[in-house]
Amino acid sequence: MTRTPLLFLLVSLAPMAVAETHPGEDAFIEKAVAEHGLDAASVRALLGGAEFKQSIADAIARPAEGKPWYDYRPIFITDQRIAEGVAFWRENEALINQVSEQFGVDPQFIVSIIGVETFYGRITGNYRVLDSLATLSFHYPSDRTRDRSEFFSSELMNYLLLGSEEELPLEEVTGSYAGAMGMGQFMPSSYRAYAVDFDDDGRRDLWRSRPDAIASVANYLAEHGWEAGGPVARRAKAGEGADFSLLKAGYKPELTVLDLHEKGYRSATDLDPEREAALVSLEQQDRDEYWMVFHNFYVITRYNRSKMYAMAVYQLSEALREGMAP
């Protein structure tokens, strides 16, 4: 398929602005030209149509992941989300099985991620991605303790590059307040790196093509090292003298089940004592609960860095798997 030049016919060129539309816009355009060979006038025209949205700045300041687990879990583990997930799985069972086999990713996790992200494609976001990324690139809330404007600036650049690669109408595409797109809510850099054209139509369409969307989620997990059939998480009990400093070590498994056992934590007896594991806690209203988590849990956190997100995906996947049982 012949690709159109970047931004060609995707933006309506407006007269070049004398001043910046957004703070830092000139430096961004210089980088786009120097590093990617983009046309300065076209990029400036596109950014000139990007609107700052206070609602986006407000939303980034209060993500769902800021909630305690006892408030976060009920958002995603509901009877409706389970029922609709089972229905989605059954409707697309042949496709999901094909994708699962080809990419080596257990099917319940493919369905669960789409369920957590967009309610199986029903809620993909109604913010213009251009507005989201421009707002967070150039107007990131200055009172946030962790300034991520550089991250979103990189995503905005990837969005411009994605435009010609996938022939996207950059001024029209909608997604989440953070700029994530499609059934699997891929950020532009992830779209470029991990989306696949599973229906072989020459495009990677994460909105209208279920084969592309489903396979892209599987490919993302596979590329990050998914272990088919491997454990994700198991409940653990903290015994007397348990070493709680392990909870600060992160989600990447660097100890073994035996190590955790010796440091005061007990879990399922069928676990291989030599399997690498990490430890996480989740806040309940009256106590914390503890989980041993494994390599596949860490892989899910590559999709979203939150331990609560990964646990929601895991618990929803278990409910979906049970719902599909004969």
Note the pLDDT tens digit of each residue in 119-128. 999 999 999 9
Contact predicate 263/243, CB 8 Å: yes
Give the mean pLDDT of 208-218.
98
Tell me how far apart the alpha carbons of residues 297 and 208 are, in angstroms, rounded to a whole number: 29
Please give the mean pLDDT across all residues of the chain: 92
Q: Which helix (H) or strand (E) holds 296?
A: helix 295-303
Q: Using only C-alpha atoms, what is the Rg of the chain?
A: 22
Q: Which helix (H) or strand (E) holds 277?
A: strand 276-283
Tell me how far apart the alpha carbons of residues 90 and 320 are, in angstroms, rounded to a whole number: 11
Q: Which helix (H) or strand (E) holds 174?
A: strand 174-175
Residue 46, pLDDT > 70, answer yes
CA atoms within 13 A on the CB side of 182: 25
How far from the centroid of its chain's Cα atoms is residue 94's Cα?
25
Give the mean pLDDT of 285-291.
95
Query: Which of the following CATH numbers is that of domain 25-60+124-223: 1.10.287.990, 1.10.8.350, 3.30.9.10, 1.10.10.10?
Result: 1.10.8.350
Residue 302, pLDDT > 90, answer yes
Residue 53, pLDDT > 50, answer yes
Please, which pLDDT band fits residue 1 given cuts at 50, 70 and 90? very low
Residue 5, pLDDT > 60, answer no
Give the mean pLDDT of 99-109.
98
Residue 3, pLDDT > 60, answer no
Residue 137, pLDDT > 80, answer yes
Stronger pLDDT, 303 or 164, i.e. the higher one = 303
pLDDT of res. 147: 61
Residues with a catalytic annotation lie at 117
Tell me how far apart the alpha carbons of residues 179 and 136 are, in angstroms, rounded to a whole number: 9
Give the mean pLDDT of 156-178.
96
Please, which pLDDT band fits residue 21 given cuts at 50, 70 and 90? confident
pLDDT of res. 12: 38
pTM: 0.91
Contact predicate 279/265, CB 8 Å: yes
